[in-house]
Amino acid sequence: MTALASRSARGAQGDTRRRLVVIGNGMAGARAVEEILARGGAVQHRITMFGDEPYGNYNRIMLSHVLSGEEDAGGIFLNSLDWYRENGITLHAGVRVERIDRFAKLVFSDDGRATPYDVLIIATGSRSFMPPVEGLYTPGGRLLPGVFAFRTIDDTRGMVSYAQQDHRRRAVVIGGGLLGLEAARGLQSHGVDVDVVHSGAHLMNAQMGPDGGAVLRRSVEALGIRVHTSSRTTAILGGDKVRGVQLRDAPDIACDMVVVAAGIRPNVEVAVTSGLPVERAIVVDDHMRVPDEDGIYAVGECVQHRGEVYGLVAPLWEQAAVLADHVTGANPKATYLGSRTATKLKVAGVDVASMGLQAPERDTDEHVVFSEPSRGVFKSIVIRDSKIVGATLLGDSRKVAFLTQAFDRGLPLPEERVSLLFDLGGPGEESGVAELDGDAQVCNCNGVSKQAIADTVRGGCTTLSGVMDATRAGKGCGSCKLLVRQVVEWAADGAVAEDPAAAYYVPGVPLEKAALMAAIRAQGLRSVSAVFAALAPGGTEDAKSKMGLASLLKMMWAGEYIDERDARFVNDRVHANIQRDGTFSVVPQMKGGVTSPEQLRRIADVADKYNIPLVKLTGGQRIDLLGVPKEDLPKVWADLDMPSGYAYGKSFRTVKTCVGQEFCRFGTGDSTKLGIEIESRFQGIESPAKLKLAVSGCPRNCAESLVKDVGVVAVDGGRWEIYVGGAAGAHIRKGDLLATVDNPGTVTLLAGRFMQYYREQANWLERTYSFVPRVGIEHLRAVIVDDAEGIAARLDEAMQRSVDAYADPWAERHDPFTPGQFRTSLPLEVLPQVPVR
């Protein structure tokens, strides 16, 4: 009886698997779990993960790309929340583990939870080291406003939004290592002037010697980054926010922000508090096990193995594999014997590769060096007993593939050492790649081998981007892109197709937007198929290009556009938004967010009649009917008898408003009326990406106008401020003030002119929050408000043509445009077959 009771208590749902708890949801913790799952570990283990950041798991190496704006913060996630769900992993995100009770086998977290474990993995990683500098913290113990670490997504987002505020002009980065240089380069892309203050005698002194450091310094300074070496920061100046930094033995530097990139320290608090052995980091044996603790493992940057603590990704991968072999019992003999570390990266736009020793240590070591500072090229190789024990390559990493493999495996070297640095009359730069083994892993994030890439190329895929799409190589941290390119070039035998497509408006037509528009106009091309026939190579259609071309042509030709339905995305073919199960969502127009009891009753009746599973308010103040089967769309529209709200298109969508002066005590302008006027005028206008607008009746901004593509705010004295380029979605950006005007008519005119300029100039799918900073608010003001280019009248006229060409797409309900336009495309129940003629 007792035994029965305890058995049922343990497996509450009849689950008798071991409880595996992972503290840390970063690259090491998640990688360890992936390795465990890959060995079938889910059968043996019920997995729970704790992460003190409130997110899924992301690629920290990519933060510099997020900072520079090359990558979206959303794009660096390694495992989405779905991954945890699909693998049955319980994730406690935003929860910090405070203590482990090794005897009761429980972990205690700051949400008051006590979680039992049978096996525990500690993967707490590390955090930014904050050097002892005066003025770094406020009296309350927080970082002084304007001071940032560079370690997490939140740090990075904070830096971006701080740097983007207009008056932030100058930044100081403390630390001239890898991370510091990445931070400096990233900040430059936001128009910030940067100084790097480095305490070492030369840049990146952990990876290279003084000669390489000097060459790197020249390259970095050529980018406009000022470098101060052998220079220590003694204080942050400011008091309430950053105003400058004080250096030892050098004049102060005035600045608006400070980024601290002075190294990392392992997070070991939880281990120390819980009585585990900690020296520089948590001590582990060759099985990644904490000594004398059978069920506790540790992995990643929080670990000290044979006296070494690593701060790179590659060792972490090796450790995670060994750990998983032991946890799952897949290979009880697996041992981790330490890693030989090699870095190959683009640092601040300069190719840098470094491995092993920086300089000779023994009298018998050979040292082969080539230096050409004017080109930013430096190469150095240290050879011991005819094996490579160290190498540094700067500015030219064509030989990196062979050198890395020779370093890793101790390959025999050619007699003529200089051929290690250069290709001398040999088969060309691909020889380094040619010498790689087929099973050599080129992309470590996604585990893609040289062979897999070569097979893809030989299968007919000869562009870098094509191979990256097909194999996912280079789609993780991106550090291997150069090597992927080399392997592609080698496998294609020099026949690599270039990817100039990056600059094209759409991939299938080799023209940038301005040239494409000129050609379309010159040849009078009014349909998507005509554009392909006239301008695409071989007249070939391209599926990925159709939607962008359809949008562009509609903008250019308005009523004269020849509408080919196959050129539209399905949303625009059926005028509703496709959802994950193939049903659609329907959002009727509700101008300015205003509705009536009559409309509400009708919407309610429709929801009843068609068994709409979810009725929901949207962020744009409208009502969304979700889960509508495609074949019901025309009937739903007919019964609603309201126009389309355009919730599905790359187009003008909605104007959010507050109640304004009519009802609000504080309202200074009639925002509802203006919102309705704007929505009535611009309804359905196509654009490169969706457009969401708002009008607020006073500076309290209840309609959130400051974070809209176009936002209008009534200010006292009958005046209106117009903001453009705001966003509060995947990106957060406060709009820039375009103009302050004194009547609603001018608001509508300038908003329309801005939208038309955006429609003509922006890249396909480029939101205004990217477009406005790219072209600059001063330029926009000159063109749109001051008519500096003399095109205002033409822009207004072009917009008017589009406005005049408007027709409610839901009118197609009575007369489908194409046969079977609203027929289901997921015939889950076998359809009655079409009658045979």
Task: List interacting residues with another protein (CB under 8 A).
Answer: 461, 466, 469-472, 508, 529, 540-544, 546-547, 564-567, 569-571, 573, 578, 580-582, 818-821, 823-831, 833-837
The phi, psi pair for 614, rounded to 5°, reads -145, 125
Quick check: 790 and 782 in contact, CB under 8 A? no
Residue 360 or 447: the one with the smaller Cβ distance to another protein is: 447
Q: What are 469's two structure tokens?
A: 């799409």
Residue 178 or 516: the one with the smaller Cβ distance to another protein is: 516
Residue 104 or 826: the one with the smaller Cβ distance to another protein is: 826
435 to 356, 419, 461, 479: CA distances (angstroms) = 21, 13, 22, 20
What is the edge-to-edge ordering of all strands in the sheet holding 366-372? Answer: 342-347, 350-356, 387-394, 377-384, 366-372
Q: What are 486's two structure tokens?
A: 């080399």
Beta bridge partners of 624: 616
Shortest separation between residue 832's beta carbon and another protein, angstroms: 8
What is the edge-to-edge ordering of all strands in the sheet holding 193-197? Answer: 147-149, 257-260, 170-174, 193-197, 226-228
Residue 353 or 442: the one with the smaller Cβ distance to another protein is: 442
Shortest separation between residue 527's beta carbon and another protein, angstroms: 11
268 to 109, 648, 739: CA distances (angstroms) = 15, 49, 53
At how many degrees (to 10) do helices 528-535 and 543-557 cross?
110
Shortest separation between residue 449's beta carbon and another protein, angstroms: 15
State the residue for tokens 């299938």: 508
Residue 293 or 541: the one with the smaller Cβ distance to another protein is: 541
Quick check: 614 and 636 in contact, CB under 8 A? no
Which run of H or of E encompasses 803? helix 792-804
Sorted by sequence, the CB contacts under 8 Å of residue 657 that are 6+ apart come out as: 592, 593, 594, 621, 671, 672, 674, 675, 676, 694, 695, 696, 697, 703
Residue 272 or 543: the one with the smaller Cβ distance to another protein is: 543
Shortest separation between residue 821's beta carbon and another protein, angstroms: 8
Shortest separation between residue 557's beta carbon and another protein, angstroms: 19
Residue 1 or 831: the one with the smaller Cβ distance to another protein is: 831
Shortest separation between residue 465's beta carbon and another protein, angstroms: 12
Residue 570 or 777: the one with the smaller Cβ distance to another protein is: 570
Shortest separation between residue 77's beta carbon and another protein, angstroms: 15
Shortest separation between residue 442's beta carbon and another protein, angstroms: 16
Residue 142 or 580: the one with the smaller Cβ distance to another protein is: 580
| CB contact burial 613-643 (16+ within 10 A = b; e otherwise) | eeeeebebbbbbbbbbbbebbbebbebbebb
Residue 164 or 824: the one with the smaller Cβ distance to another protein is: 824
Angle among Cα 530, 532, 536 to the nearest 5 degrees reads 140
Q: What are 774's two structure tokens?
A: 């790219």
Residue 252 or 469: the one with the smaller Cβ distance to another protein is: 469
Shortest separation between residue 299's beta carbon and another protein, angstroms: 28
Burial of 35 (0-12, 13-18, 19+ CB in 10 A): buried
Residue 529 or 680: the one with the smaller Cβ distance to another protein is: 529
Beta bridge partners of 296: 120
Sorted by sequence, the CB contacts under 8 Å of residue 798 that are 6+ apart come out as: 558, 756, 760
Shortest separation between residue 456's beta carbon and another protein, angstroms: 10
Shortest separation between residue 452's beta carbon and another protein, angstroms: 11
Shortest separation between residue 103's beta carbon and another protein, angstroms: 46
* Interatomic CA distance for residues 304 and 314, integer angstroms: 15
